[in-house]
Structure 1
Amino acid sequence: MIIDGHQHFWDPARADYPWMEAEELTPIRRAFGPADLAPLLKANGIDASILVQCRSALEETEEFLRIAQATPSVIGVVGWADLTDAALDETLDRLRAAPGGDRLVGIRHQVHDEADPDWLLREDVQRGLTAVFARGLTYDLLVRTRELPSAVATAQAFPQARFVLDHAAKPPIANGGSDEWTDRIAALAACGNVWCKISGLATEAVWTDWDAERLFPFVEHAAKCFGEDRLIFGSDWPVCLLAGSYGEIKGALEACLARLGPTVQEKAFGANAEAAYRLA
């Protein structure tokens, strides 16, 4: 099975997306749903996808679970829930009992938007993570270089849990990279319970001036750190449309991974996502 480990649906006419207000995001400020993605998956030989949260709202998580129930290609949902809520246990149980609740595979929060770089280490957040992991769910780390030290400490605090790093922590590709990102990614990879999504890289480059060759050093470093068993392909569609089409994004990452060997490429496009999210 070929899996897109990271894609989104949204409709700005029905909900607010604070991160989408910037003028340069106008091209993607419209509705995207299953009917838009289906032909792209077919054209690019993708069998299934993981649908990932876009806003901090339980209503979205519930909607995504209903979509997953009605959309065979959506085999997993990484939703949102308030990690600081004392009633998180009950909330997670309710989500899992809701229509499509069997597709809930993980939880995510926009940690890189929090003012505190150590937000993950707050006592109430760590208590919330305990509730997430008690239910066998994965936690997606949406962080940049700034928050990587707290991500490392969190992964170390829960050695039996499973974490997935989104977008390889958004390396500063447009600026040529940084030693800080390079070193901190390696430190996180040293935690054997963390997987890394090779996703969202083109939109960290110059949107109008990138190619597989420019992405390769960052993919190569991630592969060196995480190994062939912990890399996951993700399109980050439709955010990726800011930099290129679904096919262009998939093709570039496929080319990068192919240079690292057929086994690396094969596992990143399926088996590793299955392991990270315990997909049925």
Structure 2
Amino acid sequence: MSRAIDAHQHFWDPSRADYPWMAGDALAPIRRPFGPTDLAPLLAENGLGASILVQTRSSLDETREFLRIAHDTPFVAGVVGWVDLTDASVGSTIDRLRELPGGEKLVGARHQVHDEADPTWIDRGDVRRGLESIFAHDLTYDLLVRTRELPATIATVRAFPEARFVLDHAAKPPIATGFDQYWADRIAELATCGNVWCKVSGLATEAVWTDWDAERLQPYVAHVARCFGADRLIFGSDWPVCLLAGEYREIKQALERCLTQLDPEIGDKAFGPNAVAAYRLRL
């Protein structure tokens, strides 16, 4: 397990940048700086040897900073950054990012699609042109969507059958309000596209933060496992967002239990090999 991977974690500093999604009293516990020195002991204590650092705001400055951090932080195996998909020169932007220290660790891109007013944003023509540049540079695209955006997401994924997509947080099922069959059906439809991996991450914070456990998460993990299979599930902690619902160890152990109860092979592959394949990591 020394090179097991946490494929979804973040760093931020609200004293230095604006994070619109972090407003409100409920998020006050995580509205403080989190950096590599905070995560390093948690990875070591939980048998994880590497991580993927994922964007948190629509900012090229953040992407540049994350690449610098990756350059200076051996355990950061890859960065999923942000670029403006609607910018006609996004390909040149990616080229410049790759020239920076840490640029070789740029493995993917992401945008907070579920925060767009238009539920079909991901399927717009200008966004598709941006995705073409992402895939021309052999990057993976992380899909940060909820149930509302899944129909447009399915259409987009089908338009790029040779590309690599990763669905973040299993599209955030509404666990707190009960199992949603519409979500489940759209997940099954998306999974028929063989070029999509699914992150088993961010589930505890979709449940009631003070009333969840592995058993509560199990139906959702079991469903994505049935849909995506052993080769396309990826573990991610979603730290430090996950701290709203529990400590790092609690989150990791709950998801590990859910995965290994289904099949030990599923757990083994989700904690490393599948992330390597999805992001083409060089460990």
Structure 2 SS opposite 1:252: helix
1:45 to 42, 47, 51: 47
TM-score by length of 2: 0.98
Shift of 1:51: 0.2
Partner of 1:111: 113
Shift of 1:263: 0.5
1:226 to 219, 225, 228: 228
Partner of 1:124: 126
TM-score by length of 1: 1.00
Partner of 2:5: 3
Deviating above 4 A after TM superposition, structure 1's stretches of 4 or more consecutive aligned residues are none
Partner of 2:91: 89
Match status 1:26 vs 2:28: yes
- Write the letter of the residue equivalent to 1:248: E
Partner of 2:154: 152
Shift of 1:35: 0.3
Task: State the alpha-carbon separation in 1 of the partners of residues 263 and 68 from structure 2.
Answer: 38
Q: How does 1:51-200 map to 2 (within 5 A)?
A: 51-200=53-202
Shift of 1:22: 1.8
- Write the letter of the residue equivalent to 1:44: N
Shift of 1:215: 0.2
Residue deviations 1:194-241 (CA, integer Å, cap 9, x gap) = 000000000000000000000000000000000000000000000000
Instruction: List gaps (5 residues or longer) in structure 2.
Output: none
Backbone CA RMSD of aligned residues: 0.4
Q: How does 1:262-277 map to 2 (within 5 A)?
A: 262-277=264-279
Structure 1 SS opposite 2:272: helix
Task: State the alpha-carbon separation in 2 of the partners of residues 61 and 246 from structure 1.
Answer: 24
Aligned residues: 280
Instruction: List gaps (5 residues or longer) in structure 1.
Output: none
Percent sequence identity over aligned pairs: 72
Task: State the alpha-carbon separation in 2 of the partners of residues 236 and 121 from structure 1.
Answer: 26
- Write the letter of the residue equivalent to 1:74: V
Residue deviations 1:236-271 (CA, integer Å, cap 9, x gap) = 000000000000000000100011111100000000
Partner of 1:13: 15
Shift of 1:177: 1.8
Shift of 1:21: 0.6
